[in-house]
Amino acid sequence: MTLVAGIDSSTQACKVTVRDLATGAVVREGKASHPPETVVDPEVWWDALLTAVRRAGGLDDVAAVSVSGQQHTPIFLGAGGAVVGPSPLWNDTGSHPHMVALNEELGRDEWIRRTGLPLTLSDTVTKLRWLRDEHPDSVRRTAAVAVVHDWLTWRLMGHGPGGGDLDELVTDRSEASGTAYWSGETEEYTTDLFEHAFGRSALLPRVLKPLERAGLTGAGIPGVPAGIPVGIGSGDNAAAALALNLAEGDAVLSLGTSGVVYARSARPVQDYAGYVCSYADATGDHLPLVATLNAARNLDLGAALLGCTHAELSDLALQAPAGAEGLTLLPYFQGERTPDLPHARGSLLDASLSNFTRPNFARAVFEGTLASQVAMLDTLRDCGVHPGRLILIGGAGQSPAVQHVLAQMVDIPVLVPELDEYVTKGSAMQAGSALTGAFPEWSAAMSPLAPVPLEPRIAGQHVAAQVTMGYREEARTRA
């Protein structure tokens, strides 16, 4: 049996899955947590990777490995290869004023025209401006800028502090497309935009083509054999799309730390309304995407407040009618990215003595969370991307209440794949391609949700709540 390993260095944890190259079946896996802070020392991600590898039983019998991970988050490296300072994560809201400044200086439409991205506080380029404005000495000491997956791949190839070798940094199209200094039209960096934000030039990772190999693993890495192929890797959503065999006309709703809706497209898009980000995928196509900051953790909060398990929260929600008798949650607990409301906070509206019950509150948590996600489908349609079916993934997607409420809110078939770690699966497929030169053909079994009557009142209440809070002019959700 030939084994390959896929690594997912996500916001919350690092996961390692070892799979059979012939079938994609999971042989073993390991996991290590990441800290909850949104500005962290990157070394914690390398330490977590090594811990997850150890908990997966090591990779001594593995023939190839590849890394995928959280997009956007930058690593600032000095000339000797050491990290210059802490990294602000993609979901750190401290870069919002720096995003505003970049849009004011060049105009929002210029960023969309040049990169396909309506600038958000998550994009790498806004973190560059944050560093320039808040830590100018760190900018002077920075010789190269990579994102998390690039840096971990580089470390797996034996590079690191004291060794230099910055010219060995590589990335893929999906990660480059999330920086806001790369063009999906030309497939090249827009280095003038990088320099405008950062105030100077720096070395950027070489962008590899799909199926290219990043290199070979270095010596002396605990649990990792030297000299095995390292796949190109990708951003987390591109890896999941690869694992799902996403076809043009398919859309994915991923409920994780963030909520993400994306679809496969043969062409890049430009959304001058300012919501859809034109990312690239792992195959050579494109992955137009819309994201929210608040998703599965809303359910964590709801369960904690009601003192129940997630299963009990789902059961409670299914006891309540659609619309929760008017009780409405706007779940902007961390601010929000779509719509652009970085300083907003969660709001519970229209509570009364009769409707403020445990079942209705549980239902409002699910409805508020999903209303934010479903609204993003409309933004894709406005860009000419018309999904014919919706694939629901992420741990929260297994919840019966999530599945039921979602089916009440969308007018296209919803499919739920078998439970798997799709980011590590896609990454393992890239490891396989580094070994054989082609992606392995692994199946992704899916089950359709039973159709139920649509309940437009759910989205209608969400819109009304946005109007009440003064958010509607910035919001995109429709009744």
Domain annotation for the chain: domains and CATH numbers: 3-232 (3.30.420.40), 245-417+449-478 (3.30.420.40)
Closest CA to 294 of 389, 366, 219, 383: 366
Dihedral sign from CA coordinates of 361, 366, 369, 372: negative
Query: What pLDDT score was predicted for residue 474?
Result: 44
Residues labelled catalytic: 236
pTM attached to this predicted model: 0.87
Query: What pLDDT score was predicted for residue 17?
Result: 98
**pLDDT per residue over 117-150, tens digit each?**
999 888 999 999 999 999 999 999 999 999 999 9
Do residues 239 and 8 touch, judged by C-beta distance below 8 A?
Answer: yes
Closest CA to 388 of 286, 251, 262: 251
Q: How does the average pLDDT of the chain come out, rounded? A: 95
Check whether 478 has a pLDDT greater than 60: no
Dihedral sign from CA coordinates of 305, 311, 316, 320: positive
Closest CA to 193 of 208, 207, 183: 183
Q: Would you call 329 helix, strand, or coil by DSSP?
A: strand
Phi, psi angle pair for 255, to nearest 5°: -105, 95
Check whether 32 has a pLDDT greater than 50: yes
**pLDDT per residue over 382-396, tens digit each?**
999 999 999 999 889
Query: What pLDDT score was predicted for residue 163?
Result: 84
DSSP-assigned states of every residue in 160-208: -TTT--GGG-EE-HHHHHTTTSEETTTTEE-HHHHHHHHSS--B--EEP
Query: What pLDDT score was predicted for residue 473?
Result: 60
Q: Kindly provide the b/e burial profile for residues 422-451, where b requires at least 16 CB atoms within 10 angstroms of the residue's own CB.
A: bbbbbbbbbbbbbbbeebbebebebeebee
Check whether 220 has a pLDDT greater than 50: yes
Tokens 């694939």: give the residue: 391
What is each CA distance from 437 to 3, 69, 202, 211, in whole angstroms? Answer: 15, 22, 32, 6
Check whether 335 has a pLDDT greater than 50: yes
Closest CA to 218 of 174, 148, 144, 165: 165
Query: What pLDDT score was predicted for residue 317?
Result: 98
Tokens 């900018």: give the residue: 139
Query: What pLDDT score was predicted for residue 360?
Result: 98
Mean pLDDT of 167-188: 97
Mean pLDDT of 54-65: 98
Query: What pLDDT score was predicted for residue 3?
Result: 98
Gap between the Cα atoms of 284 and 298, Å rounded: 34
DSSP-assigned states of every residue in 430-447: HHHHHHHSS-------EE
Check whether 36 has a pLDDT greater than 70: yes
Residue type, 43: E
Gap between the Cα atoms of 477 and 371, Å rounded: 8
